[in-house]
Amino acid sequence: MPPKPSYHNNPSLAEARAALKLARRQGAATDIQRVVRGHQSRKRTNKKGGRRRTRR
């Protein structure tokens, strides 16, 4: 099993991050950012607003 990719010493990911910085300067980073950090930003969205405790 290969080691999981990190942004240290991984040139393609570093390239992607640099492109993200440039695009953020242009103001068009929304969809790229959603791709890059998909799970982190969607972690706590649908948490509140259900039947939380049924029996007390």
Q: What is the pLDDT of residue 19?
A: 72
Q: What is the pTM of this model?
A: 0.26
The tens digit of pLDDT for each residue in 3-41 reads: 666 556 666 767 777 777 776 666 655 555 555 555 555
Q: Which amino acid type is present at position 43?
A: K
Q: What is the pLDDT of residue 17?
A: 74
Q: What is the pLDDT of residue 21?
A: 75
Q: What is the pLDDT of residue 38?
A: 54
Q: What is the pLDDT of residue 5?
A: 60
Rounded to the nearest 5 degrees, what angle is found at the Cα of 15, between the Cα atoms of 12 and 17? 115
